[in-house]
Chain A
Amino acid sequence: MHKGKGMKFVGDSRISAEKKANMPKDYSEYPGRTEAFWPNFLLKEWLVGAVFLIGFLCVTIAHPSPLEGMADPTNASYIPLPDWYFLFLYELLKYKFASGPYILFGILVIPGLAFGALFLAPFLDKGPGRRPHQRPVAVGMMLLAVASVMWLTYESAEHVDWEARAEANKPVASVEVDKEDPGYKVFESNCMSCHGDSLQGGAAAPSLIGIDRSAEEIMKIAQEGTGSMPPGVFKGTDEELKQLAEFIVSVNEQAK
């Protein structure tokens, strides 16, 4: 680069007017088989990244992300559970020495010591040796910590019936029930007392929203019953029966 007298700039700017060659650095004299990041290594790295991304997208498509029903603060029976990577902290609080009168051990002392030691690791493990066998205490503590975290997570997750939880907390689709529909009139006089005024179900019978049945099956059940529903609850003409079934099917179409 030109220095001192005779420097040339672009216009009145501070940008040098002299062109420098746009050359990559030369690593050929570095030890070992050193490679340039740009462009040599990046060309291979993006391939690995692409494979990773495809794998990730496949998982995403195969497992739609879960969503439970809308939050209901009055629901007293719900058993709370944090996301999986907090389970170990949550499980810790179930031990006697970390709960009740010792709760501060569970929420402050133990996690504080563990994460504090992690934060200060370079100052606790000061020796020059980097190999694991040269620092048995640090490596031993870390192995113990990792094993505990895994054990606590496993203990916590093992007692949960994940499928039953997902099933019980499924979101209910909100549907608008057209109360002017001729089928609704039939529903009102035959089914409403048990299945609720908006098909939402009640103490005696389940919701009729989100069922997977054809009009024929519904007509059959209305006349013959199913499970704890007795036969003969429907009283009316064939025409009305058809209107009723089509009405229930149409509500379920909406809920899909």
Chain B
Amino acid sequence: MLQKLYDWIDDRIDITPLWRDIADHEVPEHVNPAHHFSAFVYCFGGLTFFVTVIQILSGMFLTMYYVPDIENAWKSVYYLQTEVAHGQIVRGMHHWGASVVIVMIFLHTLRVFFQGAYKKPRELNWMVGVLLFFVMLGLGFTGYLLPWDNKAYFATQVGLEIAEQVPFIGEQIKILLAGDAHIVGAQTLTRFFAIHVFFLPAALFGLMAVHFLLIRKQGISGPL
């Protein structure tokens, strides 16, 4: 039955090469922890991706309750945390996932660095990786404000004050992020929300696509 359905679709749009392109690649011995336990260091990139998927899914569920305005943001998070069935777990996954993903991306970077895997011909993918790292930090910074509790508010205020001290463009950066030169308020929250759920994830997806494409094109670096 399933086979028939598959053949029916494949007959019309020839899907086999599409998924085989993604699924078919080799796993060399030196990166396979089943053969060499120390190869677990190669897992950190995959784990970063795994936690990123957790972040995307839990984040999507969070937005079903979260309200990005200063009157209701905190209340909606409090409600989710105390009243909604399993809301505690959904928020917990997103909250702890944000920390775990930083740890994983850090370990992944160290693996690539100490193995010298960024050397020719993988320079471009290293730079894409560093950009991914900045995007992750940006997601952390903007996400921290969203619950609109005291630690969120005052940390963001400090962050924006630091940005303001950048010569020449500091003021502009602050206005771009906060929506106002002086007030951290309603505008700031909606802007951080937009950056956190639309702008940065879009950048993240684009960069991840390039990252994976390059890995598949070049293959993983050989054993040391």
Contact = CB atoms under 8 A, between A and B. Distances in A.
B219 to A, nearest CB: 11
Interface in A44-96: 44-45, 48-49, 52-53, 56-57, 59-61, 63-73, 75, 78-86, 90, 93
Contact of B119 (A57, A128, A169): A128
A103 B13 CA distance: 60
B116 A85 contact: no
B96 A65 contact: yes
A20 B16 contact: yes
Given A36-B24, A122-B122, A60 B96 contact: yes
Given A86-B141, A122-B119, A67 B78 contact: yes
Interface stretch (B159-167, B191-199, B204-212): B159-167
A234 to B, nearest CB: 33
B184 A73 contact: yes
Contacts of A45: 46
Interface stretch (A10-18, A187-195, A238-246): A10-18
A67 B151 CA distance: 9
A79 B120 CA distance: 47
Contacts of B14: 15-16
Contacts of A135: 116
Contact of A82 (B88, B159, B224): B159
B110 A34 contact: no
A186 B117 CA distance: 75
Nearest to B185: A73
A131 interface: yes
B61 interface: no
B96 A67 contact: no
B29 A130 contact: no
Nearest to B134: A115
A32 interface: yes
The majority secondary structure among interface residues of chain B is helix
B89 A60 contact: yes
Contact of B23 (A13, A37, A59, A73): A37
Given A45-B46, A171-B149, A80 B28 contact: no
A73 B25 CA distance: 55
Interface string A126-139: 10111110110001
Contact of A80 (B12, B30, B94, B155): B155
A194 to B, nearest CB: 26
A24 B47 contact: no
Contacts of A125: 116, 119
Contact of B100 (A13, A49, A56, A119): A56
A99 B32 CA distance: 48
Contacts of B38: none
Contact of B26 (A36, A139, A171): A36
A35 B32 contact: yes
Contact of B150 (A10, A38, A69, A119): A69
Nearest to B95: A65
A108 B29 contact: no
A64 B81 contact: yes
Given A16-B14, A85-B140, A169-B150, A52 B47 contact: yes
A36 B185 CA distance: 53
A64 B88 contact: yes
20 contacts: A16-B14, A30-B28, A33-B35, A49-B50, A53-B54, A56-B54, A57-B93, A63-B92, A65-B81, A66-B95, A71-B148, A78-B150, A103-B165, A121-B113, A122-B120, A123-B123, A125-B116, A125-B119, A132-B114, A139-B114
Closest 10 CB pairs of A and B: A130-B116, A32-B29, A65-B95, A71-B153, A80-B154, A38-B23, A122-B123, A60-B92, A68-B149, A70-B74
Given A68-B151, A71-B152, A121-B126, 19 more contacts: A10-B12, A31-B28, A34-B28, A38-B24, A44-B34, A60-B96, A63-B96, A65-B81, A70-B150, A73-B153, A75-B150, A83-B99, A84-B99, A103-B165, A107-B162, A122-B123, A125-B119, A126-B119, A130-B117
Interface of B: 11-14, 16, 20, 23-30, 32, 34-35, 43, 46-47, 50-51, 54, 70, 74-75, 77-78, 81, 88-89, 91-100, 102, 110, 113-120, 122-123, 126-127, 130, 134, 137, 140-141, 144, 147-155, 157-159, 162, 165-167, 184-185, 221, 224
